[in-house]
């Protein structure tokens, strides 16, 4: 009932009606809305529209906040990765991962070649992180 009352106050405020919610409902129906039901007050549709509008506003405003909360680990890992790439010791620490990503990249070329009926002839990963895959 408290939640219903708060929504009704918001609806009355947006409509420019400063009357007390219960007084307004009693004047209209002769009985409290809680006893008769929400349709008796005539506010059911306005209540739904208000909730939908608030939901749309919240979705638009809170998109960045929700993204940051949901992807916090990914964002922190990305910042740490960028910092490590710019440090000499960081490049040393990330070197095995660089070779692995090159190998995965070249293997994807080899997989595509095999799917097209070819065969992998040579797959090379160089010390500097570059590589190539030749197929026939």
Is residue 135 within 8 Å of residue 121, measured between CB atoms? yes
Average pLDDT over residues 84-91: 89
Average pLDDT over residues 28-50: 58
Average pLDDT over residues 79-84: 92
pLDDT at 9 over 80: no
Report the predicted TM-score, pTM, of the whole model to 2 decimal places. 0.47
Which pLDDT score is estimated for 24? 46
CA 11 vs CA 22, 36, 76, 128, 129: distances in Å: 13, 19, 42, 66, 63
- Proportion of the chain above pLDDT 90, given as a percent: 39
| 118 DSSP assignment | -
- Proportion of the chain above pLDDT 70, given as a percent: 62
Is residue 99 within 8 Å of residue 125, measured between CB atoms? yes
Q: Where are the beta strands (DSSP E) in the chain?
A: 120-125, 131-135
The span from the CA of 131 to the CA of 121, in Å, is 14
What's the whole-number average pLDDT of the chain? 76
The span from the CA of 85 to the CA of 60, in Å, is 35
The span from the CA of 96 to the CA of 62, in Å, is 39
Average pLDDT over residues 2-21: 52
pLDDT at 1 over 90: no
Which pLDDT score is estimated for 29? 46
């Amino acid at each position: 009932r408290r939640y219903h009352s708060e929504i009704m106050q918001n609806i009355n405020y947006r409509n420019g009606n400063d009357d007390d919610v219960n007084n307004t409902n009693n004047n209209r129906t002769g009985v409290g809305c809680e006893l008769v039901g929400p349709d008796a007050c005539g506010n059911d549709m306005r209540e739904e529209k208000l909730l939908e509008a608030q939901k749309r506003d919240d979705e638009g405003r809170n998109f960045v906040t929700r993204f940051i909360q949901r992807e916090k680990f990914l964002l922190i890992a990305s910042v740490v990765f960028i910092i490590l790439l710019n440090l000499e010791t960081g490049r040393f620490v990330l070197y095995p991962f660089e070779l692995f990503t090159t190998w995965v990249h070249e293997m994807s070329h080899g997989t595509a070649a095999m799917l097209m009926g070819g065969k992998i002839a040579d797959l090379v990963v160089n010390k500097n992180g570059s590589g190539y895959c030749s197929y026939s």
